[in-house]
Amino acid sequence: MSANLPATMQAITIGSEKTAESLTCDAYPLPAYNADEVLVKIAAAGVNRGDCYQRMGFYPPPPGASEIMGLEFSGTIVACGANVSKWQIGARIAALVAGGGYAEYAVVHQDHILPVPDEMSFVEAAALPETIFTVWANVFELGGLKKDDYLLIHGGSSGIGTTAIQMAKMASAKVMITAGSAEKCAACTALGADLAVNYRQDDFVEQSVSFSDGHGMDIILDMVGGPYFQRNIQAAARGGRIVNIAHLQGSQAEIDMMPVMLKNLTLTGSTLRARAIDEKTRLTQAIATHIWPHIGDTVKPIVDTTFPLSQAGVAHQLMESSAHIGKIILTCDN
């Protein structure tokens, strides 16, 4: 470790109660980095549902990952491992990681880093990795989104939803979203959604039929689960792909498989956190080629609220309330 770096840092501890109120900011040793990793002085970190699940004990980090919460961050490289050839100290970067973002410093593999444009703030950059990686891996790769496809995004006003709208419109897809208020629906329409359905007032299955002129939805991105499983099957087009990335209303449901068979549907889903280094490298390269050149232009970060790192518990309360539109960000003033 360089003599110019501190021996300790501030990071968030979950606490035995595992509640938002039990999160505290405490001293930790600076993380060690291996030959293929860089050490980053974090400027901002994204808050995600996965962090809340980890806090509650439902989403533990994979073996070898930091026990500290935080799946994405932006900041400045302050040290490089012996094999690092792609980055230099002082580079402004953003990254998706398996843990460690709720801290003043974190490590990341050199092949999992994306550059932050000079004109983009660290807060904006921290809002991008988790959403872009998730949308690319699930909508474009698993879902196979292409021009003129009908895409239904549940949770359209979430961080993932707001990014999915923009990326899908960049691909010339026809986008319908669901959200829980007129304000959220309006925000999604402003981002490019062709139809925003308030699920508290309208049936998204009926709306999907009329929106697609009876065709149905080619891809459905679902983070709700539970009662939506069967309804997604109803809304899907023949040959449609239903991709689950979370289950806010439950991961289990009894479904009728007959329409799945008759429509030749694909039911699938994925997570990113535990993927192997090579797979994350492949995803990073694909995003660097296809999406990253468009950030800040066609694909803009949508930030709802920022909190200092020490107020991570308040950030979790906001996340769990679902009152936000876009991303919630923690900032470090180190």
Q: What is the pLDDT of residue 151?
A: 98
Residue whose pair of structure tokens reads 């020490």 in the numeric block = 310
Q: Tell me which H or E stretch contains 129.
A: helix 129-135
- Is residue 97 exposed (0-12), middle (13-18) or buried (19+ Cβ within 10 Å)? buried
Distance between CA 44 and CA 1 in Å, rounded? 22
Q: What is the pLDDT of residue 3?
A: 54
Q: What is the pLDDT of residue 4?
A: 86
**Which fold does the domain 8-128+273-331 belong to in CATH?**
Quinone Oxidoreductase; Chain A, domain 1 (3.90.180)
Residue whose pair of structure tokens reads 């109803």 in the numeric block = 234
Residue 31 per-residue DSSP state: P
- Beta strands (DSSP E) in the chain are 8-13, 24-29, 37-47, 72-80, 92-96, 105-109, 113-115, 150-154, 174-179, 195-198, 217-222, 236-244, 266-269, 303-308, 327-331
Q: What is the pLDDT of residue 158?
A: 98
Radius of gyration of the chain (CA): 20
Query: Which residues contact residue 322 at a Cβ distance below 8 angstroms, ignoring those fewer than 6 apart?
Result: 180
Is it true that 8-128+273-331 and 131-269 share their CATH fold?
no
Q: What is the pLDDT of residue 186?
A: 98
Distance between CA 1 and CA 215 in Å, rounded? 59
Query: Domain 131-269 in CATH: superfamily?
Result: NAD(P)-binding Rossmann-like Domain (3.40.50.720)
| Mean pLDDT (10-residue bins), the chain, 334 residues | 83 97 98 98 98 96 96 98 98 98 98 97 98 98 98 98 98 98 98 98 98 98 96 98 94 94 97 96 98 96 98 98 98 81
Q: What is the pLDDT of residue 333?
A: 76
Distance between CA 332 and CA 312 in Å, rounded? 11
Contact (CB, 8 A) for 77 and 88: yes
Closest C-alpha among 192, 173, 162, 179 to residue 237: 173
Residue whose pair of structure tokens reads 């689960």 in the numeric block = 225
Q: What is the DSSP string of 33-76?
A: --TTEEEEEEEEEEE-HHHHHHHHTSSPPPTTS-SS--SEEEEE
Q: What is the pLDDT of residue 334?
A: 54
Task: Please report, for residues 2, 39, 108, 274, the alpha-carbon distance to residue 79 in angstroms, rounded to integers and kept in the order given.
Answer: 8, 5, 11, 25
| Residue-range domain boundaries for the chain | 8-128+273-331, 131-269
